[in-house]
Structure 1
Amino acid sequence: MRIRHALAATAVGAALALGAAAAPAVAATPAPASAGPAIQAGYTWQYTGEYFKAKSACDARASYFLAASNVKYYRCISEGGLWAGQVYAS
């Protein structure tokens, strides 16, 4: 019985040693620097407050809103016969 306990203790000790040896290597690996998700978190779709009778008139306003530094995208959505402008901005 004592030999089995000694072998088991040795096996557990070896497993722990291997795990401990591998853990610092994993922990030392730097996380990938990705600012994308952190920056994207603040962006949402927001109405511009402008409504147009024609989609072409709505699309023409895109350049005005896209000139702002905090606006990524502009789109026109049909709502009740009118076109509403929306921006994807922070």
Structure 2
Amino acid sequence: MRIRRALAAIAVGAALALGAAAAPAVAATPVPSSSGPTVQAGYTWQYTGESFKAKSACDARASYFLAASNVKYYRCVSEGGRWAGQVYAS
């Protein structure tokens, strides 16, 4: 009986050792990336938080916001005698 228990313990130990040795090799395998089309973030019109007395001042801020990588368009909208900037961004 002692020999069977000893052999069983050795077999279990060997199986655990083999499993532990194989685990890092599996973890190191790079995950293939998808080569399909990428999903673009949704774009919406958002206020910039700035308000101007003149449309020309609002238009002058366009280049500042268009320099951001997530901004597609910039526009000025009239609101109660003042001009507010809006960006079409993600």
**TM-score, with normalisation over the residues of structure 2?**
0.57
Alignment of 1:1-90 (within 5 A): 38-39=39-40, 42-90=42-90
Structure 1 runs of 4+ with >6 Å offset:
none
What's the RMSD between the two structures over aligned residues?
1.4
Greater Rg over alpha carbons, structure = 2
In structure 1, the gaps of 5 or more residues are 1-32
Deviation string, structure 1 residues 48-89 (Cα, Å, up to 9, x no partner): 000000000000000000000000000000000000000000
Deviation string, structure 1 residues 2-61 (Cα, Å, up to 9, x no partner): xxxxxxxxxxxxxxxxxxxxxxxxxxxxxxx765xx42x510000000000000000000
| Secondary structure at the counterpart of residue 74 of structure 1 | strand
| Secondary structure at the counterpart of residue 68 of structure 1 | coil
Q: Percent identity?
A: 85
Q: Structure 2 CA distance, aligned partners of 1:57 and 1:68?
A: 19
| Secondary structure at the counterpart of residue 42 of structure 1 | coil
Q: What residue identity is the alignment partner of 1:74?
A: Y
Q: How many residues align?
A: 55
Q: What residue identity is the alignment partner of 1:73?
A: Y
Deviates more, 1:59-68 or 1:41-50: 41-50
**TM-score, with normalisation over the residues of structure 1?**
0.57
